[in-house]
Chains A and B, each alone.
Chain A
Amino acid sequence: MNEIQEFLTGRMWLREHTPFSREDIDNEINQGNITPYPGIQSSVKSLFAFTYQTNSCRRCGNQQLTPFNCAKCDGQCLYCRNCIRMGRISRCTELITWTGPFLEINQKVVFAWNGTLTLHQQRASDELMRSVKSNESHLIHAVCGAGKTELLFLVIAKILKEGKRVCVATPRTDVVLELAPRFKKAFPETEIHVLYGGAPDQKGFAQLIIATTHQLYRFEDAFDVIFVDEADAFPYSIDTSLEFAVNKAKKIDTAVHYITATPSKDLLREVNNRSVISSRFHGHPLPVPRFDSLWNYTKQIKKGKCPSKLKAWSDEKMNNLEPFLIFFPTIDLMMQASSLFENIPSVHAEDPQRKDKVLMLRNKQVPGLLTTTILERGITIENLQVAVVGTDESIFSSSALIQICGRVGRSSEFPTGDIVFFHHGISNEMDEAKYLIEDHNKVKK
């Protein structure tokens, strides 16, 4: 019984897909401890004299539902394609959640992190704590490498000790995988669930959840405090159903807190409480990108010729034994270029071996990697050198470029490094990225 309560507290789960037996679930429903809801919500709206019906998916809020002829309903039915990978929601499916006795959280919290925060981190951490206490939305705008995760530790430790449930959500699986071990180390006694597409099943009740924003479709009214890390990253930035997921997953009047190095204009407008950290934890200035022309790079690469400047750059890094990343605007161009580089693997979003290849770079088994923008965030490798090919392409927005620059000089032993934008003409986004980085460096410490 207790297991069901632990699992379903704050969760919205497909009735047919739970890890429990049908009898147990039916039994709890009869006792009123579990409430089933229709998978597709219908509501009647009126506009002047007209009334019309809108249907939406209870799990992801999608309103563009697909009609089909259903053998179970014996007629027209609707289903949701947006969140279909988590098990299909249609009009004839039910979502269940725990509505019985409240689950008492009395887990022991051990805070095992004993690092120290810089003055800037400490200030931001205090300001964030104040906003969490007063339940007002807060934005931590901290440059790449400022130590955002560490300043979160302190705040989260306090919240956990109060017996509250916390979620750290981010659009990128890579970021979840990077964050999870650090949180597990900092809170060794706390039950932490790490959720992303393809994650192993995790039992019991987790007081702290590290998840991709996608996984929050499966929660409702669950979290007392929620942080969205890298809220400006794809696909959160363009997929409104993910914002819906975050809002649904938290308790109704809980504020959402954001952490990013590159806040969007909307975010800056919406959130009034802000902490800005303009310097890295090691105190060294941010590496400023240099621009270098690489005329007609697409043509050359397509012809099977490596542009000489690019070749010279990668050879130099290889000779110096410095690990490097070369960013490409498209998978196609990267694949064409990969035949020009010997023994340098390439990674992209659909690459199943991405994790292993990044690990190989970290372990110095390969000199460098070719990559798409997928590695723009969340990767920390000592003494990394970075080149961007085709920086003028529209996929490289100023925030993407700032994130890419943020990969360089992250450790205190190697606080500098080369970051070069190879281009076929300078774009506004390139100028803006450089301007914003220099602006942070100008701030009086």
Chain B
Amino acid sequence: MNCLICSNEFIEKPSWSSLFMIKQPQVICDKCKDKFEQAKMKDYREDWEGTMFEGSLDSLTSIYSYNEFMKDVLHQYKFLQDVELAKIFRDDFAHLESETAMIVPIPMHPEKLKERTFAQVDELLMAANIPFSQPLQKTMNTTQGKKSKLERTQSEILFSATENIARKSILLIDDLYTTGTTLHHAAYILKQVGATKVSALTLMRV
């Protein structure tokens, strides 16, 4: 097997779970894996105190820290459009199989989707074999990455939601938490259509 990140050949350490195919085979080498850092627990609420979005997002969990290495990996995935890299993170989402909340990946604007050819958050879940629903629609085709922090927190609501959501508890999934605009906007709109609890899980956090 060649590592999906550094393309060097590697041999996976044999284990009972891989022998009986309980675990999916490893797709990156240990050297690359070692460069992944666990995300630090940080408060996210502070930035949103006093805004209309305060309290929209009930909890936030992030898996990895957005370090230099992750920056490159995410760049290759999203901007070089290397869809295959979604497989790297399938173990990280595997626990969602037993999730009771409704799983909702952050959607892309249809135009943006055509440009990128794939929805990066959907692909992460599909690689891990996790079913999801999509009550949200992205209404504004803007790129968050190019805006200043102030612009981001003040921008208009980025999403619209279908009225009836099946379950009242929702788990939002996104690739990266930077200032939290995307997730707060999505949570805000979901609460308006009747969600009682909105949590979020992001793959990386700045």
Contact = CB atoms under 8 A, between A and B. Distances in A.
Given A71-B113, A72-B114, A88 B80 contact: yes
Contacts of B113: 71
Interface string A63-88: 00010111111000101010011011
A168 B48 CA distance: 58
A271 interface: no
Contact of A71 (B76, B82, B84, B118): B118
B81 A71 contact: no
Contact of A84 (B82, B115, B116): B82
Interface residues of B, number: 13
B84 A81 contact: yes
B117 A71 contact: yes
A79 B80 contact: no
Nearest to A350: B6
A84 B128 CA distance: 24
A79 B116 CA distance: 13
A117 to B, nearest CB: 42
Contacts of B80: 84-85, 87-88
Interface in B75-122: 76, 80-84, 113-119
A79 B114 contact: no
A71 B118 CA distance: 6
A66 B117 contact: no
Contacts of A66: 83-84
Nearest to B79: A88
Nearest to A93: B117
Contact of A79 (B83, B115, B119): B83
A79 B115 CA distance: 15
A77 B117 contact: yes
A192 to B, nearest CB: 29
A84 B113 CA distance: 19
A194 to B, nearest CB: 24
Nearest to B4: A81
B110 to A, nearest CB: 9
Contacts of A81: 82, 84
A320 to B, nearest CB: 38
Nearest to B115: A72
A330 to B, nearest CB: 12
A90 interface: yes
A77 B118 CA distance: 11
A67 B26 CA distance: 19
A343 B81 CA distance: 42
Interface string B49-84: 000000000000000000000000000100011111
Contacts of A92: 117
A71 B114 contact: yes
Contacts of B114: 71-72
A85 B83 CA distance: 14
A88 B84 CA distance: 12
B116 A88 contact: no
Point out which of B81, B84, B113, B117 has the most chain A C-beta atoms below 10 A from its C-beta.
B117
Contacts of B115: 72
A70 B82 contact: no
B118 A69 contact: yes
B104 to A, nearest CB: 19
Contacts of A88: 80-82
B93 to A, nearest CB: 18
B117 A90 contact: yes
A71 B83 contact: no
A66 B82 CA distance: 9
Contacts of B119: 71
A242 B84 CA distance: 23
A331 to B, nearest CB: 10
A63 B60 CA distance: 43
A439 to B, nearest CB: 34
A70 B84 contact: no
Nearest to A74: B114
Contact of B118 (A70, A84, A85): A70
A72 B114 CA distance: 5
Contacts of B116: 71
A334 to B, nearest CB: 15
A80 to B, nearest CB: 10
A290 to B, nearest CB: 33
A90 B76 CA distance: 15
Contacts of A85: 80
Interface of B: 76, 80-84, 113-119
Shortest 10 CB-CB contacts between residues of A and residues of B: A68-B83, A88-B81, A72-B117, A71-B113, A70-B117, A66-B84, A71-B117, A84-B80, A72-B114, A71-B114
Given A81-B82, A88-B80, 16 more contacts: A66-B84, A68-B83, A70-B118, A71-B114, A71-B116, A71-B117, A71-B119, A72-B117, A77-B117, A79-B81, A84-B76, A84-B82, A87-B80, A88-B82, A90-B81, A90-B117
5 contacts: A68-B84, A72-B115, A77-B117, A84-B76, A84-B80
